[in-house]
Structure 1
Amino acid sequence: MGVIAMDKRQITLYYSSENSIGKQIHAYVESSQKKNLAIDISKTNVTGTQWAELADGLHKEIKDLVAMDHPDFLNTYGEQGQDLDENDCIKILQKEPHLLKHPIAIDGNHYIELESAASFKKFMEPDSAGLNES
């Protein structure tokens, strides 16, 4: 059993208010008809176990959650950043939350990486067959 609570009647959003996509998607989640829990990772510490569960729910590695092409990442870690291990990536997400590649929504037991505000709108449509969900 995971440490992240699952509720089929609630959307849980992990996002950073330090980037514009995170703020936009948060606004969409807040305006949705569904009960929601928004976790702003720039204000709330997400544990390593939670990051591992989020990555696993998306069928990705933790390093895939980090925006390694972001200028701040490149300035700090350079090309060697591609070789960071899981623990390093967790520390990056905890200390530099704006480096979260995309907000992550959990709806019931579905984990969705939201690349844009439009992807959330599409996700909320009754027939979201066109959305890549993990």
Structure 2
Amino acid sequence: MGVISTDEHEIKLFFNSGSSIGKQIQAYVLASERKILTIDISKTRVTGTQWVELAKGLKLSISDLINKEHPDFTHNYDANLDLEDEDWLKILEKHPEVLSTPIAIIGERFVQLRSPGDFVKYIEPDSKM
């Protein structure tokens, strides 16, 4: 069992309220019929262990969670960095705004949400029960 609990009737959303896509997806999630827990990464610190669990749940590496084209990333780092996972975690912890997309845990599924339509796609089958 990981440090992030899952519940078939709950949605957890890790997002940045400073991004327009984060705000849009948050609105869609809050309109859902399920119990919601939103984690605004611009206000709430996500631990290294939680980032690792999110990456594993998405079947991605830590570096894949980072938008290497984000202005805050390109201003502070070389886009061609070749780092160990611990170093990528430090970047996420220091600059959470470089998270590539909001991440939702819907029941036991971990999904990256690139648009509000992605959320609708994942939640719709459950609402037809």
> Normalising by structure 2, what TM-score?
0.91
Matched residue, 1:48: 48
**Over 4 Å off, 4+ runs:** none
Matches within 5 A, 1:1-134: 1-81=1-81, 83-126=82-125
Say if 1:41 and 1:94, in contact at 8 Å, map to a contact too.
no
Aligned equivalents of 2:94 and 2:113: distance in 1? 21
SS in 1 for 2:60: coil
Amino acid at match of 1:37: L
**Alpha-carbon distance in structure 2 between the residues aligned to 1:53 and 1:79:** 24
Q: What RMSD in Å do the two structures reach over aligned CA positions?
A: 1.3
Measured in 2, the distance between the counterparts of 1:105 and 1:37 equals 10
Q: Structure 1 unaligned runs (5+)? A: 128-134
Shift of residue 123 of structure 1?
1.5
Q: CA deviation at 1:74?
A: 1.5
- Larger mean CA deviation between 89-98 and 52-61 belongs to 89-98
Structure 1 residues 47-87: Cα deviation after superposition (integer angstroms, max 9, x where no partner):
11110000000000011000012222122112343x12211
Cα distance in 2 between the residues matched to 1:71 and 1:84: 19
Aligned length: 126
Code of the aligned partner of 1:112:
V
